[in-house]
Chain A
Amino acid sequence: MLTIENLQANVSDKNILKGLNLEIKPGEVHAIMGPNGAGKSTLGHVLAGRDGYEVSGGSVTLEGKDLLALECEERAREGIFLAFQYPVEIPGVSNMEFLKASVDAVRKHRELPAWDAVSFMKKAREACTAVNLDQQFLKRGVNEGFSGGEKKRNEIMQMMLLEPKLAILDETDSGLDIDALQVVANGVNALRSPDRSFIVVTHYQRLLDFIVPDYVHVLADGKIVKSGDKNLALELEEKGYGWLEGESA
């Protein structure tokens, strides 16, 4: 599904990703952990196509397509979804209007029939229920005045409606209490399927109790320095990242 080869990226002329390799097959869940400043969030932004994140080398292909050649919105339409660590507030644009425009654009690109207003509303309500968000949130401005947890649940709600091929969750667990964490994890698990993959960026092993990964990678200093199965996360929880420092060289 997604192949990252020797990816190098700069932010404000600073080298952040320094030759990252990753292969994700359909249906797999990959957790990416690592110390602060390792480049975890940068990876998400580079994949989603944020301005100011300059790719200086390497390649990323999504189902054989050169992802890096696509505009941000084209990547989304091709099936990349980034759940933001800090979702953006957009007052004046209702969540509903935003979701409808987004779903319309994505479905049109995928040559899927457009949802009419009534079926869209039905789907949106279902998605709200699934992440335990009151339907009133559809009327409110996008993320406007939402609590941290509500913003994260709103991200998962969007993901449900957009049905991506590859979802990148950027520290979706940060700022969540245990109940909200479970809600988010349930949302993700409900979307797991043989043809949908996930990259779960997190600092804490806790989230991986709920979203059980197929692989765990440690990202340090712009590279993946260690990969393993879910047990690696437990080991990291116990030992920290210090013992891996030698391996990053």
Chain B
Amino acid sequence: MTSTPLHAAIAAGSTLNSRTATSHATTKIADMQNAAAHAWAQTPWPTRTTEAWKYTPLKALEKGEHFTPAAKNTLTSDALKPFEINRLEALTLVFIDGHFCAEQSDDLTQLPTGMTIEHLSDASDLGQFNKAAGEHATLFGELNTASIDAALVISVAKNAQVIQPVRVLNIASANKPCLANARILWQQAPHSKATLVEHFVSTQGSHTFTNSITELFVGENAECEHYRLHLEDEANLHIGGVYSHVHKHARLNSFYLAMGANLQRVDVVTQFEGEGAEAVNNGVYLPRNKQLVDFHTCIEHKVPHCNSHETFRGIIGDSARAVFNGRIHIHKDAQKTLAELSNKNLLTSNKAEVNTKPELEIYADDVRCAHGATIAELDALAMHYLRTRGIGQAEAQVMLSFGFINELIEQLNNAAIVEYLRPVIAQRFANKSELLDSLTNNALI
């Protein structure tokens, strides 16, 4: 198939400079980038007939203006204050429109024991770069790989127990449409433990298209706690992917929140590479106005004796739309697999829409698999119960919506994240401050 004229124009545009190599590693990077640029140019632009994009039109990108590379922007420390997460006490790495901002980031020479952070271009070897993402390459993944300049490699050494979370703060700040590529390579050696918080936010008036790929490699017996919080303003766009390899007896615990951006598409691919591993992928999406949220998740049970648990919940309001595609792929040899998937949706407006599809592909015969998807309105009996206690209809709606989401928030391991998210989510439903107080004052007990 040939690409669209738009597509060709973008490929020929300034985004993709061809690379010249200066060392062995950079030769590899250049090769990878050139190959990805080629793939990006060859892949047809998604349309309604492209299965993976069936319910997610890319009209917003088709004008082409979002493919201008983002310029380097600076922000004051004051401008960053609203993005802090109290009590998280994280090591914070700041990217502004995809560019690493050393001045606003914590000192990379003062890292917790066992952790190293370097730019891919400075790295002595490429490690596992693009190993997970490359296997499931998508159109935008190729674009990311082709144009990556600020990829960061975060490595945790064998046996290192890093208590301090790493927060990667991605700020969309460009005042006109542009492209920000963000790329994280997170590598945990065996028996290590660490927490990654991907925090996507925006400044007022920003129009950034963020194209963000994160790869997580969780080594044998390692534990990874991962949060990905999409909180950009609605004028921004976001397409991203999180690709993980979970090795023998390792554990990955991921939580996704999608509240921001007018178009949000996140591909989540978790692949088991060794027996006895476990992965939890939970998520929440709350589109409103004309927002569109699309989660495409896939659990690759390649090997036996692994457990995966996945719960996504969404509340879709106004004229917003949500797409959820949850695939569980159990390979031929993956006996004794336990895989659970649940997706529940609440529609709070007549114009809201959701397309949800659990997809099971099972080639092993001794597995336990449970999946389900529901679309509903608020529970009438619960509504009535609240009203018999004097709570007005509007407030009861807020409480029930909040409760539906809060069930997942309360399960998060990191108390600072819970504390940060509860008011952010309550605010989405409640405009009455009194109710907000009672919803966020739980710390009193």
Residue numbers of A with Cβ under 8 A of B are 48-51, 71-73, 75-77, 81-82, 84, 87-94, 96-98, 100-102, 104-106, 109, 117-118, 121, 135, 138-139, 141, 158, 162
CB–CB A97/B445 < 8 A: no
CB–CB A105/B445 < 8 A: no
A98 contact set on B, CB distance < 8 A: 386, 389, 391, 399
A91 contact set on B, CB distance < 8 A: 403, 407
List 19 interface pairs A-B (beta carbons < 8 Å), by A numbering. Answer: A73-B389, A73-B390, A73-B391, A73-B396, A75-B388, A81-B388, A92-B410, A93-B399, A93-B400, A93-B402, A98-B399, A100-B441, A101-B438, A104-B434, A105-B392, A118-B444, A139-B442, A162-B389, A162-B390
B325 contact set on A, CB distance < 8 A: none
B318 interface residue, CB < 8 Å from A? no
CB–CB A48/B388 < 8 A: yes
B444 contact set on A, CB distance < 8 A: 96, 117-118, 121
Closest CB in chain B relative to A149 CB, distance in Å: 18
CB–CB B406/A93 < 8 A: yes
- B419-445 near A? 1/0 per residue, CB < 8 Å: 000000000000000110111011011
Closest CB in chain B relative to A111 CB, distance in Å: 14
B386 contact set on A, CB distance < 8 A: 90, 98, 101-102
CB–CB A51/B445 < 8 A: no
A76 contact set on B, CB distance < 8 A: 387-390
Q: Which of B184-192, B357-365, B368-376, B377-385 binds A?
A: B377-385
A100 contact set on B, CB distance < 8 A: 438, 441
CB–CB B445/A106 < 8 A: no
Q: A84-B388, A104-B434 are in contact. List 17 more A-B contacts (CB 8 A).
A: A71-B393, A87-B385, A88-B381, A89-B382, A90-B400, A92-B407, A93-B399, A93-B406, A96-B445, A97-B438, A97-B439, A100-B441, A102-B386, A118-B444, A138-B445, A139-B445, A162-B389
CB–CB A135/B445 < 8 A: yes
B439 contact set on A, CB distance < 8 A: 97
B53 interface residue, CB < 8 Å from A? no
Residues of B in contact, count (CB < 8 Å): 33
A102 to B386, CA, bound (A): 8
Secondary structure dominating the interface of B: helix
B83 interface residue, CB < 8 Å from A? no
CB–CB B442/A96 < 8 A: yes
B218 interface residue, CB < 8 Å from A? no
Q: A100-B438, A121-B445, A138-B445 are in contact. Are A90 and B382 (CB under 8 A)?
A: yes
A81 to B382, CA, bound (A): 16
Closest CB in chain A relative to B92 CB, distance in Å: 30
A98 to B410, CA, bound (A): 16
Minimum CB distance partner of B408 in chain A = A92
Q: A51-B384, A101-B435 are in contact. Are A158 and B441 (CB under 8 A)?
A: no
B399 contact set on A, CB distance < 8 A: 90, 93, 97-98, 101
Select the residue from A50, A87, A158 with max chain B CB neighbours within 10 A: A50
B404 interface residue, CB < 8 Å from A? yes
CB–CB B395/A92 < 8 A: no
B37 interface residue, CB < 8 Å from A? no
A109 to B403, CA, bound (A): 25
A85 to B410, CA, bound (A): 29
Minimum CB distance partner of A161 in chain B = B389
CB–CB A109/B382 < 8 A: no
B316 interface residue, CB < 8 Å from A? no
Closest CB in chain A relative to B9 CB, distance in Å: 48
**Of B390, B396, B406, which is within 8 A of A92 by CB?**
B406
Minimum CB distance partner of B385 in chain A = A88
B405 interface residue, CB < 8 Å from A? yes
CB–CB B389/A102 < 8 A: yes
B391 contact set on A, CB distance < 8 A: 73, 98, 101-102, 105
Q: Which residues of B in the span 293-346 have a Cβ within 8 Å of any Cβ on A?
A: none
A175 to B320, CA, bound (A): 45
Select the residue from A73, A82, A100 with max chain B CB neighbours within 10 A: A73
CB–CB B404/A51 < 8 A: no
A48 to B388, CA, bound (A): 7
A121 to B405, CA, bound (A): 25
Minimum CB distance partner of A103 in chain B = B390
Closest CB in chain A relative to B21 CB, distance in Å: 54
CB–CB B438/A106 < 8 A: no
Closest CB in chain A relative to B376 CB, distance in Å: 14
**Of A92, A105, A117, which is within 8 A of B405 by CB?**
A92
Q: A100-B438, A101-B438, A117-B441 are in contact. Are A72 and B400 (CB under 8 A)?
A: no
A123 to B391, CA, bound (A): 19
CB–CB A158/B389 < 8 A: yes
Closest CB in chain B relative to A33 CB, distance in Å: 23
CB–CB B384/A50 < 8 A: yes
A98 to B438, CA, bound (A): 8
A230 to B170, CA, bound (A): 72
CB–CB A82/B388 < 8 A: yes
Q: Please name the 7 residue pairs, one residue from A and one from B, whose CB atoms are nearest each other, closest first.
A: A92-B403, A93-B403, A92-B407, A76-B390, A102-B389, A100-B438, A88-B385
**Of A72, A87, A101, which is within 8 A of B395 by CB?**
A101
B400 contact set on A, CB distance < 8 A: 90, 93
A71 contact set on B, CB distance < 8 A: 387, 393
A50 contact set on B, CB distance < 8 A: 384, 388
A105 to B434, CA, bound (A): 10
A156 to B1, CA, bound (A): 70
Closest CB in chain A relative to B260 CB, distance in Å: 22
CB–CB A72/B388 < 8 A: yes
CB–CB A104/B406 < 8 A: no
**Of A73, A75, A92, A101, which is within 8 A of B404 by CB?**
A92
